[in-house]
Amino acid sequence: MRLWKKRMSIIIKKMETDEEIRGKAFVYWKSWHEAYPGFVSQEYLDKLTYEKCVNMAFSWRDNLIVAMDGNTVIGFVGYGNCGEESPNAGEIFALYVLSEYYGTGVGLRLMQAGLKELSAYPEVHLWVLKDNKRAIRFYEKCGFVPTGKDMVNSKINATEIEMKLTL
């Protein structure tokens, strides 16, 4: 007997509603607690509550695209300008997908949507945890390469590396 995977009807769209903002908060909270134990300070994770994530989500509403499976947010990407350090570059600030959607192409679709928004920039940067090999492989598949820059994020007690994509 052959089992057929249910075809997902994932929608990628700009984040708009309060419910989508709460969904983004849930994805952020769940992703950190699933993917980062052993990579970041357990003390930080213990203090990262869903309520804190909701407050953060409502304070950052711009430049966000969500992936929706029906009415449920299952992932998001945040993007924008790199800022003063690299004013002519864009940046992917965050890309999170619920673990049950790993390997389904949702992350790639979110990355493509974020890069489309940043297409006016000649290059796009992002920072990723140095020990997060899964994420690094994903970003490399998307065309990003390490720049050689790293920084210690004392808030989470972990080292991050910078990666860059030339458009």
pLDDT tens column, 54-67: 999 999 999 999 99
Buried b (16+ CB within 10 A) or exposed e, 90-124: bbbbbbbbbeebeebebbebbbebbbebbeebebb
Mean pLDDT of 103-116: 97
Q: Which pLDDT belongs to residue 85? A: 81
Read off the pLDDT of residues 112-132 as tens digits, 9 standing for 90 and up. Answer: 999 999 999 999 999 999 999
- Name the percent of the chain lying above pLDDT 70: 95
Q: Is 118 helix (H, G, I), strand (E, B) or coil?
A: coil
Q: Give the separation between CA 89 and CA 166, rounded to whole angstroms.
A: 9
Q: Is residue 87 very low, low, confident or very high in pLDDT (cuts 50, 70, 90)?
A: confident
Neighbouring CB atoms inside 10 A of 158's CB total 19
